[in-house]
Amino acid sequence: MKRFSVLLTVLLAGSLLFSHMALRAQEAEANYNEAKVPRYTLPEALVCLDGSAVADSQQWFARRRPEILKLFRDQVYGHAPGRPEDVSYRVVESGEAFDGLAVRKQVEIKLRQGGKKLSVGLLLYIPTERGKTGAPAILGLNFAGNHTLSDDPAIILNTNWMRPRKDSGIVDNRATEAARGTSSSRWPLETILRRGYAVASAYYGDIDPDFDDGFRNGVHALFDKRGGGGQRAADAWGSIGTWAWGLSRIMDYLETDSDIDHARVAVLGHSRLGKTSLWAGAQDQRFAMVISNNSGCGGAALSRRAFGETVARINESFPHWFCENFRQYDGRENSLPVDQHLLLSLIAPRPVYVASAEDDRWADPRGEFLALKNADPVYFLLSGDTLAAAAMPQVNQPVIGRMSYHLRSGGHDVTAYDWDKYLQWADRYIGRR
């Protein structure tokens, strides 16, 4: 058994390293020439499948919004189940943090379905000074474990599968003390807390490990009824669907915590977790605001532009992220019944922020801007607001409003600049009261 486990680890490491090398090769071959972007026509946000026009908010919420949601579930992200049959919450650790600035709370969320169970570890930092209704919060999944958000020694080390280190070919099956605080630049906790916001985060691998194993681990294992074999449905949820589902399960908990004002929770994500935050916010209207940071293809960027990462490339590199039906649009983006402007439209009239990076051409910054701009008709119908920019803004010239966008200098990351803009924006809509 031990020999088999070692062999499996080696094979998985090799597979992940090969995938990384293949992704680098694809990035080098990608189209970055605007002149080569194919002609395309976007599906109309305010025209129903039967050709009738949406005239008011009632028709949007009763007819068009459910249509669009179903199309994304059928063709892109897959259908997720509802809440599991049994959920329990347990505070496993709490204490003062950052010299009294905040209270730290670590919660075990235990999910049970059909005799199977899964635990998700939630890390919460809550400002000591908060209003009577609790603190507004920013919720986001993390890539490498809760212990990487801060060097706080009280944060519990994760014992689940860890993402491999880039280019190493090594699968990190256990977290180490050396990893504490290694993602802190992406999570400026004290800055956020001083602004009056709580921070809630969980490791995305607790929900579903990020590799292709035939959808038999993580949350998939709780709901998979195939037993020893059988074919998955072509519209069954992929990993982005599971991570989004997990964000909603965390929101379920936040609704029970009196330290958090659950009516003022923003959901945030970067890269693949930016795709996740958009899909979570599109489905779950309990999220008051939605933030997409460098989410690219399958996130905020228009698929039809086929610029940088394409549908075919993302399905080849990450076959577990989307539903099987999405593969039929490899190289056939114009055949998609949806595009990402419709995903952003599903968030309306709630505030949405899409952020791009100048050097992150793989994520197609222009495609991200154009998707947001093409969500204008729905936002105008429901709130009277539109994106306050007729053309893509210059670098480091943010456009802030109910629909917000910025293109910052630099590459694929979450930076202090991003957080400064997000917090300024959040102050308008969910800040201290």
Which residues touch 157 (CB under 8 Å, ≥6 apart)?
A: 145, 147, 174, 175, 176, 177
Q: In this structure, what are the phi and psi dihedrals at residue 428, rounded to the nearest 5 degrees?
A: -65, -35
Of the residues 201, 271, 277, 404, only one is catalytic, namely 271
Q: Which of 20, 119, 383, 412 is catalytic?
A: 412
What is the SS3 assignment for 56?
coil
HEC per residue, 358-375: CCCHHHCHHHHHHHHHCC
- Give the integer Cα–Cα distance in Å for 187 and 193: 11
Report the alpha-carbon distance of residue 258 to residue 274 in Å, rounded. 27
Maximum pairwise Cα distance, the chain: 64
Distance CA(44)–CA(51), nearest Å, equals 10
Phi, then psi, of 206 in degrees rounded to 5: -65, -35
**Dist. CA 215–CA 209, nearest whole Å:** 10
Distance CA 402, CA 224 (A): 39
- The reply to whether 262 belongs to the active site is no
Distance separating alpha carbons of residues 249 and 393, to the nearest angstrom: 36
The kind and range of the H/E element at 105 are strand 102-113
The pairing of beta strand 289-293 with beta strand 260-270: parallel
Structure tokens at 315: 């399905």
Q: Based on the residue annotation, tell me whether 412 is a catalytic residue of this protein.
A: yes
Q: What is the rounded distance in angstroms from the CA atom of residue 358 to the CA atom of residue 29?
A: 19
Q: Which residues carry out catalysis?
A: 271, 412
